[in-house]
Structure 1
């Protein structure tokens, strides 16, 4: 059950980050990948900054923030 929960948070987070970044998602698989990587990165960054919280909404917000930063970094690399 926790793996399904992990994928669901990844899909929602990736979709939201895609909406914020380019106005559209990346498809189901793309949203899940971006959301999971963003969640890992966002969780790591939140831990380093001492930002804590709990609950589903907090996890989604952290993952969306991490995914948005990830998309920003990828766009910078693509431009170079």
Structure 2
């Protein structure tokens, strides 16, 4: 059951990040992948600065921030 929750949070985070980054939508599967990888990136970044995600909203925020950072990094790498 935790895997399904993790995937749903990843899907929502990828969708929110694609809205925030304007025009970075990659479809359902792309948003899921960006959200799941973003969850790992966000968790790593938040642990570096000493924050911890608590609850559903905390995990969603962490995954969304990670997905936004990931989309930004991909955009920078595409331009160069």
TM-score between the two structures when normalised by the length of structure 2:
0.93
Across the two proteins, how many residue pairs are aligned to each other? Answer: 80
TM-score between the two structures when normalised by the length of structure 1:
0.93
Q: What is the match of residue 16 of structure 2?
A: 16
For residue 73 of structure 1, report the CA deviation from its aligned partner: 0.5
Q: What is the match of residue 63 of structure 1?
A: 63
For residue 23 of structure 1, report the CA deviation from its aligned partner: 4.7
Listed one character per residue, the Cα deviations across residues 45-79 of structure 1 (whole Å, up to 9, x for unaligned) are 10010012300001000110010010111001000
Query: Which portions of structure 1, spanning 4 or more consecutive aligned residues, are displaced by more than 3 angstroms?
Result: none
Which residues of structure 2 form unaligned runs of 5+?
none
Q: Provide the alpha-carbon RMSD of the alignment.
A: 1.2
Which residues of structure 1 form unaligned runs of 5+?
none
